[in-house]
Amino acid sequence: MTPLNVPIRVLSHAADLPKPRYMTSGSSGMDICAAVKDTVLIKPGEISLIPTGITMAIPIGFEVQIRPRSGLALKQGIGILNSPGTIDADYRGEIKIIMINLGKQDVLISRGMRIAQMVLKKVELISWQEVELLPDTERNAGGFGHTGHE
């Protein structure tokens, strides 16, 4: 698969940090690092906005999704709010990660720590076609738990 060329700008406060990168040849998400000046303490139940020190020019027709890292979620209870977070193609500001500590212990976010994953996704635009009735399906308007317990 040929990678899509995406312009990235590393801000001065992150010049010493690695750019987002795939950790294995089969990874779909690139790990992204914290560009904090000093270690950040996130207490249980607290939310913190963590800078990454990068900006990018995502091609029109794509978005970058920010997702939690599974190891941080399992071992320390760290989640990403509004997950997956969407970085739109027209946004040019610094990427920042909204982290929450859902665990029972304090968590330290240190400079260069891999805190999230970013995935490039194709976006399809919608053109609305207003109708009086929608086509029937087997489910129709069945909501949460409509299929029973399995």
> Which CATH number fits the domain that encloses residue 59?
2.70.40.10
Helices within the chain (DSSP H only): 70-76
Collapsed DSSP state (helix, strand, coil) of residue 93: coil
Q: Is residue 65 part of a domain?
A: yes
- CB 105 within 8 Å of CB 52: no
pTM: 0.87
Look at residue 114 and tell me if it is in a domain: yes
pLDDT in tens, the chain (150 residues): 788 999 999 999 999 999 999 999 999 999 999 999 999 999 999 999 999 999 999 999 999 999 999 999 999 999 999 999 999 999 999 999 999 999 999 999 999 999 999 999 999 999 999 999 999 988 888 777 666 655
**Domain residue limits at 56:** 8-122
Residue 109 falls within a domain, yes or no?
yes
Residue 3 lies inside a defined structural domain of this protein? no
Residue 39 inside a domain? The answer is: yes
Phi, psi of 79 (to 5 degrees): -125, 170
Please enumerate in sequence order all residues whose Cβ is within 8 A of that of 129, keeping only pairs 6 or more positions apart, or say none. Answer: none
